[in-house]
Amino acid sequence: MLRDMPELYRRIAIVGVLLALYVAGGAYSALLVDGPDNVALFWPAAGVGLAGVLRYGLKIAWFVPVGTLLVHFFFDPVPTSFLAWSASANLFGVLAGAAMLRRLHAEDMLTVRFGLAALGGAVLMSTVSAAVGTAGMFQSGLIELEALPTAGARWLLGDLLGATSIAPALMLLLPGRTGRRWRPPAEDYAPESEQLMWNVALMASYLLMAWGGSLGGNYAMGLVALPLGVMVWSAVRFPPLQTAVASALTMLLVAGLAGFGTAGYPEASAPLDGIYLLVFLIEVAALPLMLAFAMHQQRVSAGVLKLRANVDPLTGLHNRNAFEEKVRPEIAGGSVLPMALAYIDLDHLKLINDTASHAAGDELIRGVAGVIEAHRHPEDLLARTGGDEFALLLRNCTPMVAEDRVRALLRAIEGYRCGWDGQMLGTTASAGLVTFLPGQADYAQLLSQADAACFTAKEQGGNRVCLASLDGGELLDRTSAMRWVVRIREALEQQAMELYCQSIVPLRPGMDQGRHFEVLLRLRDPRTGERLQPAQFMPAAERFRLATRIDREVITRTLGWLESHPDAAATVDTCCINLSGEAVIDEGFIGFLSERLRRSHFPSSKLCFELTETSAVRDLARAQRFINQLRDLGCRFALDDFGTGFCSFSYLRSLDVDYFKIDGSFVRDMHDSPMAEAVVRSINEIAHVLDKRSIAEHTETEADRQALIALGVDYAQGFAIDRPQPMDLYFYPDGSAAG
């Protein structure tokens, strides 16, 4: 209720509550004042004062002297000369104790360290208060000189008992900072049924203590062991607050019984009797509290270790072990609702680690984790299972819905950008998806299938979803990497690679005088006759070191065709040929190309080789050397798919290329995404600053073409210009090609 108040009213209410508690504690003590030294047996107000100042700071410490004066005015009249001494004693004691605890940085009372520090602070508070208070009593004529030692001891111990028994409970009950971010969950403590038993046991211990004392005997105080045992039970099984409250109630009860001399308990009126009693009660109050703090600290430590064992420290998501622990029981059965398991792997993260830094890669992983977390449903379970891998369990999700959701998730990842050191980092992801019913397969089988499907998605070029099947653990035939190897080798041996061409046209007049085109590859399946796109087979070719064989085949076939059609070759200004990333590291490739160009009469200056940005920046030094070697042969060079993955332009000056080919995804999205348009504009401007030419891929519509003209892009390529055609038809639309 206090937290809902305006700040000013809240502060007034807090001080009012503290003042009322302080006065109530003082009034209770006034009833216990008796004996030759006129010192209260028990001063609960000391605990109220210490807790209030520790909780809310020195600025409210004024309630202590005000409360002291109110106690004396209404409940415990004293000579006027002693009022200032009494108020000062209580104030200075509280200030000294609070200053010591704050100096030790022991704000978190739920640790053994704080318990020991608090005990030291309480001793200091009680010592200062007793010294000032008994000096005032002597000065005011309330005690004689010879009574100073016993009066001082009783004052000190009475304050110490108040601080030991009352302050911890108030510190935990009063609203404010808790001192720890993590608390043990409710299941770490005893159940409600045991809580009820404990409540009954505490009340029974109080009744037995009073009843036993009424029977008489010299050792009735030994019955305090009854509530002490119950408090030890509480310290072990329940939160510290429960033990603290029980300690406060027990001390108030026992002090009252001894102070009033009721229920058969002898009145502690003699100075030494009071001292002995107070030492005993302080120990009874402190021991359960210290045990409660120790048990709480043990629970916190165990909980933090468990948290660290189950939570990924980079993203805060579940880790692989926690995910498996939670998912296994659900997969085994217990529900009839359909589920799906998605295995998500980021594409080309190593590239970002190598070119930007591992810290940048970590930041990107954190950001992608946030994207996935934002797109998952509340009932889904997400985990980071590896370096750049995530697992997502979709509950109550049909196969069609699961596939749609994972595709949407991959689009969100593709659109995410992370700022790092002046760069904009991004990535794509591949996902394997397996749908199932609980009890249909075990966790290991499902994860294996999803992982294999994810691998296949990467083999097909990444940034896509591949579905897995549980029947026999097989994916579709076209998703098997080894089967692709067989098909690629068959195509190479049977010359089933077909060359297509697509025009690259200038968007400003007077730029090129001849044909500018890109040679595109199609693989004709010798068995089915199906013409396959490079995205379907090149990932497998690169993985199994077949990519350079394809590169050489394309170069050989292209030059061979142009050499056998000199009239068509004469119309060519620029012939662009794609190279795989493997060509950069193939030590024999430059030698092959040099020898092939030496035997060709087609000018090498009309050849332009394209390498993707991803392949180029994977090893900048090697790529730079490779490009320079090609330029020494007279060839030109283009950086393909520029802007994908991330936009770090710092390396561009070291790559001597002629063209930047703007990735088609940005061109397609220009009309709907201001960011995509800004990327196209930026790449074009950077190209011109570096004295390069820009080419926009995937120019699909006339609107795209006009927008590119407005942005000042140099060339366009796409369906708005023409569609890829077999090389013969591209040069001879009428079918008159010869040779």
d(CA 532, CA 530): 6
Q: At what angle do helices 620-632 and 589-598 cross, to 10 degrees?
A: 10
Higher model confidence: residue 652 or residue 610?
610
Burial grade of 538 (CB within 10 A; 0-12, 13-18, 19 or more) = buried
What share of the chain has pLDDT > 70, as a percent? 89
Amino acid at 104: L
Higher model confidence: residue 43 or residue 645?
43
State how far Cα 556 lies from the chain centre. 52
Going from N- to C-terminal start, the domains of the chain cover: 2-306, 320-479, 491-731
Q: pLDDT band at 70, cuts 50/70/90?
A: very high
Instruction: Tell me the average pLDDT of the chain.
Output: 85
Residue 38 has pLDDT above 80, yes or no: no
d(CA 340, CA 331): 10
Residue 267 has pLDDT above 70, yes or no: no
Higher model confidence: residue 114 or residue 396?
396
Higher model confidence: residue 336 or residue 593?
593
pLDDT of residue 34: 57
pLDDT of residue 45: 92
Higher model confidence: residue 220 or residue 333?
333
State how far Cα 106 lies from the chain centre. 28
Q: At what angle do helices 192-214 and 225-237 cross, to 10 degrees?
A: 170
d(CA 71, CA 49): 14
DSSP secondary structure letters along 188-239: GS--HHHHHHHHHHHHHHHHHHHHHHHT--TTGGGGGHHHHHHHHHHHHHS-
Q: Which of 100, 108, 47, 116 is nearest to 289 (CA)?
A: 116
Residue 636 has pLDDT above 80, yes or no: yes
Q: Phi and psi of 383, rounded to 5°?
A: -150, 150
CA distances from 286 to 165, 173, 251, 608 (A): 7, 18, 11, 84
pLDDT of residue 477: 42
Tell me how many degrees the CA angle 149-152-158 measures, rounded to the nearest 5. 140
Tell me how many degrees the CA angle 645-366-319 measures, rounded to the nearest 5. 120
Contact status, residue 441 vs residue 327, Cβ threshold 8 Å: no
Domain made up of 491-731: CATH architecture:
Alpha-Beta Barrel (3.20)
DSSP-derived letter for residue 106 is -
Tens-digit pLDDT profile for residues 460-506: 778 999 988 765 444 444 445 666 777 788 888 888 889 999 999 99
Strands (DSSP E) found in 385-511 = 389-394, 418-420, 423-425, 428-436, 465-467, 497-503, 505-506
Q: What SS3 string covers 288-338?
A: HHHHHHHHHHHHHHHHHHHHHHHECCCCCCECHHHHHHHHHHHHHCCCCCC
Instruction: State mean pLDDT over 565-571.
Output: 94
Q: pLDDT band at 648, cuts 50/70/90?
A: low
* Token pair for 135: 């000096």
DSSP-derived letter for residue 633 is T
Tell me how many degrees the CA angle 635-737-507 measures, rounded to the nearest 5. 50
Tens-digit pLDDT profile for residues 664-701: 888 988 888 888 898 899 899 988 998 999 999 999 99
Q: Return the CATH fold of 320-479.
A: Alpha-Beta Plaits (3.30.70)
